[in-house]
Amino acid sequence: MAEVRVERTEDGFQAVNGRGARVAIGDGDTEGVFTPVELLVAALGGCELVTVEPLTAQRGHRMARLAATVQADKVETSKLGTITVTYDVELPEGDEKAEDVLKAVAKRVHERYCTVGNALKEPMKVEQIV
């Protein structure tokens, strides 16, 4: 189960998990915070990378740099269009198979194994209790 508490603070809002991590949340005009949409796209990028990295490393191909930029455009009020994940990778020096392994693993992760991506692709029930 994933559980995060979101609460108002003296200077905005924050999300807190059970392990003590905190993320500041606010609107697009507030410095030093993530917007809720930015957190959504960060979750997608994070899900892909934290799944891809150990799988490529287990196969003996640890990337020298593994990063991603995730972009989402609002197509209308309260609606996002296509979300694009663009990888930024530096392959390990002298590893001729690393690129092929990375591409294969990243494709499988994107298509099947990233929980956040799967949640965004499929209709999902979201309930609210007030």
pLDDT tens, 96-112?
Answer: 999 999 999 999 999 99
Q: What is the pLDDT of residue 85?
A: 98
Phi-psi region of 59 (alpha: psi -120 to 50; beta: other; left: phi over 0): alpha
Fold of 35-121: GMP Synthetase; Chain A, domain 3 (3.30.300)
Beta-carbon count within 10 A of 98 CB: 21
- What is the pTM assigned to this prediction? 0.92
What Cα–Cα distance (Å) separates residue 34 from each residue in 40, 67, 103, 108?
A: 10, 19, 30, 29
Give the domain ranges of the chain.
Answer: 1-34, 35-121
- Averaged pLDDT, 73-83: 93
pLDDT score of 124? 86
Q: Is the pLDDT of residue 3 over 90?
A: yes
pLDDT higher than 90, residue 1: no
| Averaged pLDDT score across all residues of the chain | 96
Q: What is the pLDDT confidence band of residue 62, given thresholds at 50, 70 and 90? A: very high
- Residue 47's pLDDT is what? 98
